[in-house]
Every structure is written in C-alpha cells, then in structure tokens.
C-alpha cells in the first residue's frame, strides 16, 4: 500500500514512485469512491485515470494550495525517504 499523505472530502491522496517507471513529472494519486487518477504537480492536470469533475476541481485547488509541501514530499520520495502528512 502506498503512503497516504492526506484525506479530505472523501478523497484519499497518495504519493509513490512506481517501480521501473521513469518519473520525470511529480504527481499524486487520488482515490474517490472507486475513481482513481494521477494528477501532475503543480498544474493539477490528470495524467491517467478518471475522477468526477467536482472532485477534480477540489483536488486541483488543493494541489495549488499545497504545492511547496507536495514538491518537498516528491523529493523525499525520490530520495527513498518517509513522506510527511499534509493537512486539508
């Protein structure tokens, strides 16, 4: 199971690096009621998956609000270090 870094509005946010996948773009993985999508940091573009429009807007706003923390966590992930939780 990948590290959960935040939960809000029924949305679970995780960050992880997939083994063997080249990761050039920082991203988060969001889950909401069976929908899953990866969002790029910092622009919030859906890279893969599906998410309802309302939750997409909420997640994109959250990414914009927490950009610095997300990029810091991304660096920790790249360095194989533990990630920290981010509040709503």
**Distance separating alpha carbons of residues 41 and 66, to the nearest angstrom:** 10
Report the pLDDT value the prediction gives residue 25, as an integer from 0 to 100.
Answer: 85
Average pLDDT (27-34) is: 97
Does 1 score more than 60 pLDDT? no
Instruction: Write out pLDDT tens, residues 51-79.
Output: 999 999 999 999 999 999 999 999 998 88
Report the pLDDT value the prediction gives residue 22, as an integer from 0 to 100.
Answer: 60
Report the pLDDT value the prediction gives residue 41, as an integer from 0 to 100.
Answer: 96
pTM comes to 0.90
Helix axis angle for 67-78 and 53-65, nearest 10°, is 80
């Amino acid at each position: 199971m990948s590290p959960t870094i935040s939960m809000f509005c029924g949305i679970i946010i995780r960050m992880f690096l997939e083994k063997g996948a080249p990761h050039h773009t920082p991203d988060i993985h969001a889950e909401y009621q069976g929908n899953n999508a990866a969002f790029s940091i910092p622009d919030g573009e859906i890279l893969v998956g599906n998410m309802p429009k309302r939750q997409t807007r909420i997640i994109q706003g959250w990414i914009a609000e927490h950009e610095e923390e997300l990029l810091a966590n991304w660096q920790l992930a790249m360095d194989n270090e533990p990630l920290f939780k981010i509040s709503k």
